[in-house]
Structure 1
Amino acid sequence: MQPSALTPENSAVVMIDHAVGFGNVFRSHDLSLHVNNTVGLAKTAGVFGIPLVLTNGADTGPYGPLFSELRAETGDWRVIVREGNFINEGCVLGSALAGLERGYEVYLAVDATAGETLEVHQVAVQRMIQAGVVPVTWLSLASQYQGSCTNHETVQGFLSLMTQHSAAFGMLFQGQAVRAR
């Protein structure tokens, strides 16, 4: 199946188990970069008006509540509480495969997911790709939703995303702002 162009009208962002306690468990990504990418993905949903679904175990469970930075971004957004907590090789893999079985196109923001080790993360991602999941990054999704700078309704939000959550683009835009003065 050839993936469709993603638009806010034909997609949703589903975020699974971005809990504080997983910061002590996974080692596939730098924690601060992982949290940054996770928040960038949530903000992308907000900037482009994309439905956002948050799932997690109970706040009092072994892995605790959502990352505080993610919770600050999503405010009082409802979190769907599930039984059990797993990381990329568990819940994300199972959810992606279930989505494919139900006929959905499934995209995985690989930089906003993590695993116990880099190898475990990579194997889970490869398993999903073999099944038909399309790997992306949160910034590639934001860029696709933005399309071009002619979409004036969202360009400021998009530029803000890049400035706040992409170190390279943030420095580029800061440099342009300094030169423009």
Structure 2
Amino acid sequence: MAKTQPEPIRDPKSDHLLTPENCAVVLIDYQPEQYSTITSTTKEAINLNVIALCKLARAYDVPVIVSTVGVDMGVNTGTAEEIMAELPDVKEIDRSGVNSWEDEEFREAVKATGRKNIVMAGLWTEVCLTFPALDMQKEGYHVYPVADAVGGISHTAHNQAIERMRQAGATPVTAIQFGSELMRNWARESSQKFREVLQWYFPKQKELISQGKAD
């Protein structure tokens, strides 16, 4: 018997896997000043996967929060234009501290999503991503660091940060893994949203590989 129909959809809010209805995406400090000190990967590889996250979040109506540090203080500039171009309706939340969870406006924005599963990425892995991830895990959130959308000041710094978050209960994922988890079944009508992201993603990835700029 040919299988052309999707299996029944599990409760999208209580599902133990990520669904468009039970998670939010958080992006922290994708600013030029942060990119300039990363050596664990390339800016191009990071942006490929961050932009994939943005495209997936928009396609599946997943809430997105974007935060910056030091913009109001005049120390840093805002989020990279290519990222914000994917999120025309999202307002950046600026902070003075490196740990976004210590910023009240940021905390309230996360709480306002009503989601406990937080798919999170930030620069650097070892600071701006790790610190809020540890705090949020402590407060009952389940954080999913997006390992291929982040970078640290060294391979060691990045790798140890991922391990530290994992030991605290966080679950590392990748950008395309996230998309697959949202999509779940190729026979669903909504799977076309994921196909469109993949059709954009793989040519870009191939181009980066040819240039030696991919992981």
TM-score class, shorter-chain normalisation, is: 0.7 to 0.9
- Residues 1:105 and 2:142 are matched in the alignment: yes
- Residues 1:13 and 2:20 are matched in the alignment: no
From 55, 75, 78, the counterpart of 1:62: 75
* Change beyond 3 A, Cα 1:37–1:126: same
State the SS of the aligned residue for 2:86. Answer: helix
Report deviation, 1:155. Answer: 2.2
- Residues 1:88 and 2:101 are matched in the alignment: no
The size of the alignment, in residue pairs, is 168
Structure 1 stretches of 4+ with a deviation exceeding 6 A read: 168-171
Letter of the aligned partner of 1:111 in structure 2? D
Distance 2:87 2:71 in 1: 15
The equivalences for 1:20-169 within 5 A come to: 20-59=32-71, 61-85=74-98, 87-152=124-189, 154-167=190-203
Letter of the aligned partner of 2:140 in structure 1? G
* Change beyond 3 A, Cα 1:96–1:57: same
* Change beyond 3 A, Cα 1:71–1:117: same
Q: Which 5+ residue runs of structure 1 have no aligned equivalent? A: 172-181
Identity of aligned residues (%): 29
CA RMSD for the aligned pairs? 2.1
Distance 1:69 1:168 in 2: 14
State the SS of the aligned residue for 1:142. Answer: helix
Give TM-score scaled by structure 1 length.
Answer: 0.85
* Kept in 2: contact 1:27–1:115 (CA 8 A): yes
* Kept in 1: contact 2:26–2:66 (CA 8 A): yes
The structure in which a higher percent of residues are helix is 1
Distance 2:204 2:124 in 1: 28
